[in-house]
Amino acid sequence: MNGLTRRSLLAKSGLVVVFASSGAAGAQEPEESANLPGDLDKYPFLDSWIRIDPKGRITVFTGKAELGQGLRTALMQIAADELEVSPASIELIMADTGRTPDEGITAGSHSMQNSGMAILNAAANVRVLLTDAAAWRFASSVDQIELQDGMAYGPGGLRLGYGDLAAGFSLHVMAKPDVPRRSKGRRLIGENVPRVDIPAKVNGGSAYVQDIRAANMLHARVVRGPSDGTQLKPADIDAVAKMPGVEKVVQDGRFMAVLAAKEWHAVKALRRLQAAGWERRDTPLPSIDLCDVIRKSPARDIPIFGYPGPPAPADARIVKARYSRPCLMHGSIGPSCAVALWENGNLIVWTHSQGVSPLRKSLAEFVRLPLERVHCIHVEGSGCYGHNGADDVAADAALAARAVPGRPVRMQWMREQEHGWEPLGSAMVVELQGALGRDGRIAGWRHDVWSNAHNGRPINAGGLLAGAELEPPFAPQKPQPIPMPEGGGDRNANPIYALPNASGTHHFVERAPLRVSALRSLGAHMNVFAIESFMDEMAHAANADPVDFRLIHLQDSRAREVVEAAANRFGWKRRVKGRPGRGYGFGFARYKNLGAYCALAMEIMIEPDSGTIEVRRVVAAVDSGEAVSPDGIRNQIEGAIVQSLSWTQMEAVTFDASHRTSFDWSAYPIVRFPSVPVSIEVNVIDRPGEPFLGTGEAGQGPAAAALANAITDAIGHRLRDMPLTSERIRAALRS
């Protein structure tokens, strides 16, 4: 492309593609890097984040993606607040490898911490440059300049638009770390601005990658066995290629896809090929419980933490417990989808991958193109947090599009393919041991967690599903643990409580019988479930109130405030005890011990004959630092609670000796509307001026533990193995 920018417009699709050989602006290595907030430290040039054109139009760039968490709205609020304009006047470009900074993967509740803080500081820098430029143009002092709605106003009625001012200076300058925020206080930050991504989702508009339609587009289906570890037997491909509407059958090694002008024709061709049957490629799956397999498998032992302290006294009471979680699916409502165009030796992919830049590198190797000839553009997908099939379907689409240059190809997985092939959240086992002194305090603590990997996202072609199907195949990625303080299977295994004589070990199990990777919150869901269940067990042994027991072991003032706020708003001290079937539970954690704080109390009723749970009331308190959008924070915590209740009560991947058997919603039930809590109240503790903290994954662990603790309170028996199903409740009541 000779260093020039080229635009290619897909007719009627409304999608503009930009190739730039130099990548996103500002990606150059700075001569020296100041200690700048968030990802501004990696991309310190202001035009990496903000540009103003001669007409005063403002464009803001982020390498993070909108996944339904409300990020687009929040980032527009941040920039608009500092630049003294309305959010509607800002165009936000998200996760586009030709235009935005490479901010890696949108995961780990890092978007506000990394991109939000970067945009906040960059916008403050740009505001100062605009103010200085206006003062120079008006021959006035800086304190006589007022910015408002894209205009700079000076003494005597003088005014100039942002476009005129920006034409006089360059934004390709390094940000300064000490630029103050607007002196007049917050205007939009802290307000509940309507979400910009919602209207199209509720009025039938084009909201998702699944909705993309383009002129001359082909529909495609990939042809595979029923699940990972299987492959189809040979079929009559020539006969399928002659079926009505089928335009092409694409083969490359064991990879196969069918392309048709109409989607139904592609589906019928897929079914015809699948009718040949399938066989398993490798060793049978274990016939015993997968948690036991992981617990007994060879493991690499990795220390998590070690807190000094004197040995527990000889008369300390020892409490032990084992907790487990099965493999979980993402359960995306919309099966994975991607649209690809192979044109003039360039590959363009519209994808709901949460990491467009890592995907771009993987695809370039996969289709053997130079990196600058591959362009990945994020378009929101219909439901997923974590590593589902988004990256894999993008590779499938790329191979299909390569076979029909110049024609867009929409590759859509089927429901059973999503359930059969998506990477799962690992099964996990946690064993805890605590020593309780005569003073009612914890005198010793031991945490052991066994888990497969949580980071199978593609970093090269071997991380893509089709990478193993080509001939020759790409070498598979080797699973690796994620180092602390983020952690993978050991995420949140280090308690935030002040515990003496405490230690923990992550037993990393490399070999996984099923395909596993990142599921929302990684190991935090399991570790917090175990820790917070165990805190209740220790409180019971100490004959102490569960909330009081937590507070005497908490030194972090913000943690204490969140716990007290949730308990007080719930009326914890006033709860009615001893009613048959009614239970109350509490859970708390700070996500990764460096993200948002979340505490919640829960009231449930259990029907003794059926064992069914009705979650009547949940009251949560959350501290996410400065709250850009309080409603956005509430939305995320509400969603985390509902998702966690689904995981914890009913979700578990099933399989037999040959393959997965959870291919639809009947075999893999998720929470439905009748089971959603009757009432959820989320109280946001706003801390203006404090750094933004990640919120999206803060509620899963506390919600899971609160449910387990409420069940114990209701039936007098402790359930430690997820899912906490009605069958297990009935069995406990019979015991």
> Which of these, 613, 617, 585, 587, lies nearest to 709 by C-alpha position?
585
Q: What are residue 92's phi and psi, to 5 degrees?
A: -110, 120
Give the residue-averaged pLDDT of 467-478.
Answer: 95
Give the residue-averaged pLDDT of 25-43.
Answer: 71
Q: What is the pLDDT of residue 22?
A: 34
Q: What is the pLDDT of residue 261?
A: 96
Q: What are residue 288's phi and psi, to 5 degrees?
A: -95, 175
pLDDT grade, residue 723 (50/70/90)? Answer: very high
114: burial class by Cβ within 10 Å (0-12, 13-18, 19+)?
A: buried
Q: Percent of the chain having pLDDT more than 70? A: 95
d(Cα 619, Cα 568) in Å, to the nearest integer? 10
Q: Nearest 10 degrees: CA dihedral of 196, 202, 205, 211?
A: 100
Helix, strand, coil % over all residues of the chain, rounded to 5: 30, 25, 45
Q: For CA atoms 231, 235, 241, 242, give the dihedral sign.
A: negative
Are 419 and 329 in contact, with CB atoms under 8 Å apart? yes
* Size of the chain, expressed as the number of residues it contains: 735
pLDDT at 2 exceeding the cut of 90: no
User: Which residues, listed in sequence order, are joined to residue 160 by a DSSP beta bridge?
Assistant: 152
pLDDT at 546 exceeding the cut of 50: yes
Other CB atoms within a 10 A radius of the CB of residue 258 amount to: 29
> Which domains does the chain show, CATH number per domain?
6-200 (3.30.365.10), 209-281+330-421 (3.30.365.10), 425-454+489-734 (3.30.365.10)
d(Cα 222, Cα 218) in Å, to the nearest integer? 13
Q: How do beta strands 597-606 and 582-590 pair? A: antiparallel
Q: What is the pLDDT of residue 500?
A: 94
Give the residue-averaged pLDDT of 148-174.
Answer: 95
Burial letters 518-547, b for 16+ CB under 10 A, else e: bbbbbbbbbbbbbbbbbbbbbbbebebebb
Are 452 and 509 in contact, with CB atoms under 8 Å apart? yes
- The pLDDT tens digits of the residues spanning 362-406 come to 999 999 999 999 999 999 999 878 999 999 999 999 999 999 999
- The pLDDT tens digits of the residues spanning 643-694 come to 999 999 999 999 998 899 999 999 999 999 999 999 999 999 999 999 999 8
d(Cα 422, Cα 391) in Å, to the nearest integer? 10
Helix (H, G, I), strand (E, B) or coil at 39: helix
Other CB atoms within a 10 A radius of the CB of residue 578 amount to: 6
Rg (the chain; Cα; Å): 27
> Which of these, 589, 530, 583, 533, lies nearest to 559 by C-alpha position?
589
Give the residue-averaged pLDDT of 600-618.
Answer: 96
pLDDT at 529 exceeding the cut of 70: yes
- The pLDDT tens digits of the residues spanning 125-135 come to 999 999 999 99
- The pLDDT tens digits of the residues spanning 620-634 come to 999 999 999 999 999
Helix (H, G, I), strand (E, B) or coil at 163: helix
pLDDT at 27 exceeding the cut of 70: no
Q: What is the pLDDT of residue 35?
A: 87
pLDDT at 724 exceeding the cut of 90: yes
pLDDT at 23 exceeding the cut of 60: no
End-to-end CA gap in the chain: 72
Other CB atoms within a 10 A radius of the CB of residue 35 amount to: 8
Q: How do beta strands 613-623 and 679-684 pair? A: parallel
pLDDT at 641 exceeding the cut of 90: yes
Return the residue matching tokens 């916008």. 123
- The pLDDT tens digits of the residues spanning 250-302 come to 999 999 999 999 999 999 999 999 999 999 877 788 877 899 999 999 999 99
- The pLDDT tens digits of the residues spanning 681-710 come to 999 999 999 999 989 999 999 999 999 999
d(Cα 695, Cα 596) in Å, to the nearest integer? 5
Q: What are residue 252's phi and psi, to 5 degrees?
A: -155, 105
Q: What is the pLDDT of residue 80?
A: 97
pLDDT grade, residue 95 (50/70/90)? Answer: very high
Are 375 and 360 in contact, with CB atoms under 8 Å apart? yes
d(Cα 230, Cα 699) in Å, to the nearest integer? 36
Q: If residue 375 lies in a helix (H) or strand (E), which one and from where to where?
A: strand 374-378
Are 695 and 596 in contact, with CB atoms under 8 Å apart? yes
Are 92 and 124 in contact, with CB atoms under 8 Å apart? no
- The pLDDT tens digits of the residues spanning 498-527 come to 999 999 999 999 999 899 999 999 999 999
d(Cα 733, Cα 406) in Å, to the nearest integer? 64
Q: What is the pLDDT of residue 123?
A: 97
pLDDT at 19 exceeding the cut of 50: no
d(Cα 264, Cα 247) in Å, to the nearest integer? 13
Q: Percent of the chain having pLDDT more than 90? A: 88
Q: Which two tokens stand for residue 661?
A: 């058997």
Are 234 and 275 in contact, with CB atoms under 8 Å apart? no
User: Which residues, listed in sequence order, are joined to residue 599 by a DSSP beta bridge?
Assistant: 588, 621
Chain centroid to CA 68:
10
Q: What is the pLDDT of residue 33?
A: 55
- Measured CA distances, 324 to 413, 489, 523 (Å): 31, 12, 11
159: burial class by Cβ within 10 Å (0-12, 13-18, 19+)?
A: middle
